[in-house]
Structure 1
């Protein structure tokens, strides 16, 4: 299956001139409540046993309503319209939950959803065939490609680089090869730890574009190899 990297749109004609489109709450929303949006941050590998109170978040002043709304909270938490939820719900997604969310534009409430994902497919990476690069988040520097032989060696090298050069340094996947044990029918997933991209299958990309959903853009995932 062919995959694409999903990115949030920066096109001002589509999203307006504020990015991210959401980064604040409406007046009176208790950000510190035990069931508020921020309570979801600790759920990286599981989901809460409660429905979070997400009523509500505020669209930035110069942002436009789109089907997919960029936010400044977390890339594991995506905001989307009912139309977008209906399309994604027809496909094979990584482990996820949808929660009702109130999105306010100039005090008018719009019914949206928060898409909370738990996605880590790093155990399905073929480490011996995947190439890596050292990188520095501050300068943007990337080294020549190199190889490791296991996930254990990946972590050891990552920890050693951070200890030597600082917390802004790490290891990123360059050309990533997924093993035969990977679910080839997945339409939406994040590999995690060695790669920050969100991957969407060609069939889901086509469905999103055919439905005219706005807010996401796609580029071919030339860095990802998923073997049959």
Structure 2
């Protein structure tokens, strides 16, 4: 069984959401190709320019921190403990860049996880649900299911879209093929943009290690089903 990593929503654990209130950014971060936020699914042969995360005054330090500021989106901001554990299961398909987190004039070393590949080849598209967000004439949006049954059909459909509509198309319910070889992997074009997935073995290793700030959502659930129907029964 596989799970998608989600940040904890328990205020007793995280203190405040988002934990990173804002970030100190380098100049011209939005156009600078060496800024980490402009590097995605490619291995950097240099150390990117990094944001410095400012912890909210009510937030607590956990091994996984929530952060919405530029540079942090679509990545995991993790402690050295979580980084080291992750690399026990995969030291090939991820880069980690050291990233300062600042609170009360103290600097803590965290790491920003940069995935190098998205593993669509693990997805069973015949049993997954792909949707695209459409605009209504009267305003607002709705989700329309896309009839794709293979990775090739999924890629062909994405190629027909402009960059905006491509970003609004995602796998809302993920089903995996049998015998996945990886214990950890990443998928882009899922709800929320990028999803990080772990096997039961990794989930147990994280729990035994008392890693904080993480919840595990079964991949069979959509984001709405997890957050509004099932999460409370597990995490309260």
Deviation at 1:197, TM superposition (A): 3.0
> Does 1:12 find its partner at 2:8?
no
TM-score (norm 1): 0.74
Residue in 2 aligned with 1:56? 52
Question: Please, which runs of 5 or more residues in structure 1 have no aligned partner?
Answer: none
Residue in 1 aligned with 2:208? 210
Aligned pair count?
Answer: 214
Pairwise CA RMSD: 3.6
Structure showing the higher helix proportion among its residues: 2
TM-score (norm 2): 0.72
Q: Deviations over 1:55-76 (max 9, x none)?
A: 7321122211111111113444
Deviation at 1:172, TM superposition (A): 3.2
Aligned partner (choices 17, 37, 48) of residue 41 of structure 1: 37
Contact 2:3 2:198 survives alignment (8 Å): yes
Q: 1:117 to 1:158 in 2, by over 3 A?
A: closer
Contact 1:22 1:57 survives alignment (8 Å): yes
Aligned partner (choices 189, 209, 215) of residue 185 of structure 2: 189
In structure 1, distance between residues paired with 2:166 and 2:140: 9
- Within-5 A mapping of 1:1-228: 2-17=1-16, 19-26=17-24, 30-32=26-28, 39-54=35-50, 56-72=52-68, 73=70, 74-92=72-90, 95-136=93-134, 141-143=142-144, 147-155=147-155, 157=157, 167=165, 170-179=168-177, 184-194=180-190, 196-223=194-221
Deviation at 1:52, TM superposition (A): 2.8
Contact 1:135 1:169 survives alignment (8 Å): no
